[in-house]
A and B are shown apart, each in its own frame.
Chain A
């Protein structure tokens, strides 16, 4: 090989090395760029992924918040209903107590009325009035006074806790008892605990009336220890006694009189027919 040929080969080798070096550098740059792009791609993928998660989370969050709002409204409605039911319950309980009390009062009034009209025997009627005053009103000392129309005086015909003879007769229109018999109006002392028993000035005086006609009075001087004041029922019982006791007393008296007359007539008839 000549020197020129050798030079040519050497130059080509140099050129080839240069081209190879450039190729290697280019390949290296390409790899770096590739790596950078892959890294970038990963970053973008991550970013893209994160943003879709946030969106999903946001939507879910909104749904949950909406549901919480709905549940809050529902809860308020339920609480409102519970409060309403509780108020209704309290109202029912109060009404139940009222009705129970009314029931008790009606039972007492019914029994008093039933007993008063259960007999035509004058003494039994008086005994029933006494029982009512003891057991239903709580009277300890009291008297039943009837009007004697001949003398125009009120006389005790029965009593409890005080001897009948001790109860003074009262003229119509005289004193509290006489005034009650005259006017037909009930009388009650205002301060029951402060009342001092006095046969002329009773604690309570109730006229026994048939319509407007007074046939007698009930006078109470003392109540049982536990009875410190009159209850609503007592006034109802007094009203009932004013009317029903009066008719019971009146009719039993009439019956007793007619029975007595009947036996007298029968006696005469027997004498005549003998």
Chain B
């Protein structure tokens, strides 16, 4: 069975742990964490990922910038990206989708919602 690699780019350790906790309930998933956009890019360059979760509001490099850079990168043009937003930040969400993000989740997030999105985007039966 193939192993899916998922990157979580999120500055909040609580959120990272929550997403990680949910994803690890799915089979054959390896989760790598990054604390901001730059850290995320370093990890994305070192290995190929199948799915990316990224927060929008982060220090150093925000999630929108990361989505934009990845959609212009041949290696990550087609890789599914999920942005994490707050309900009030509708503009950010729309911008992220316009930049090429595949889906979004709003805070406060529930582990089952993360699992559902990961299953859909990774096509896990």
Interface residues of A (CB under 8 A from B): 100, 103-104, 107-108, 110-112, 114-115, 118, 128, 131-132, 134-138, 140, 224-227
Contact = CB atoms under 8 A, between A and B. Distances in A.
Contacts of B109: 135
Contacts of B87: 224-226
Nearest to A132: B14
Contacts of B111: 103-104, 107-108
Contacts of B110: 104
Contacts, number: 58
B108 A118 contact: no
B98 interface: no
Interface string B79-107: 00000001110000000000000000011
Contact of A111 (B17, B86, B106, B112): B17
Contacts of A136: 14, 18, 108
Contacts of A138: 107-108
12 contacts: A103-B111, A107-B22, A107-B111, A131-B12, A134-B107, A135-B14, A135-B18, A136-B18, A140-B86, A224-B106, A224-B107, A225-B87
Nearest to B15: A135
Contacts of B15: 131, 135
A140 B88 contact: yes
Interface of B: 12-15, 17-18, 21-22, 86-88, 106-112
A100 B12 CA distance: 25
Contacts of A226: 87, 106
Nearest to A224: B87
Contact of A135 (B12, B21, B88): B12
A111 B18 contact: yes
Nearest to A128: B14
A128 B14 CA distance: 7
A52 B21 CA distance: 81
Contacts of B18: 107-108, 111, 135-136
A227 B107 CA distance: 10
A46 to B, nearest CB: 71
A212 to B, nearest CB: 28
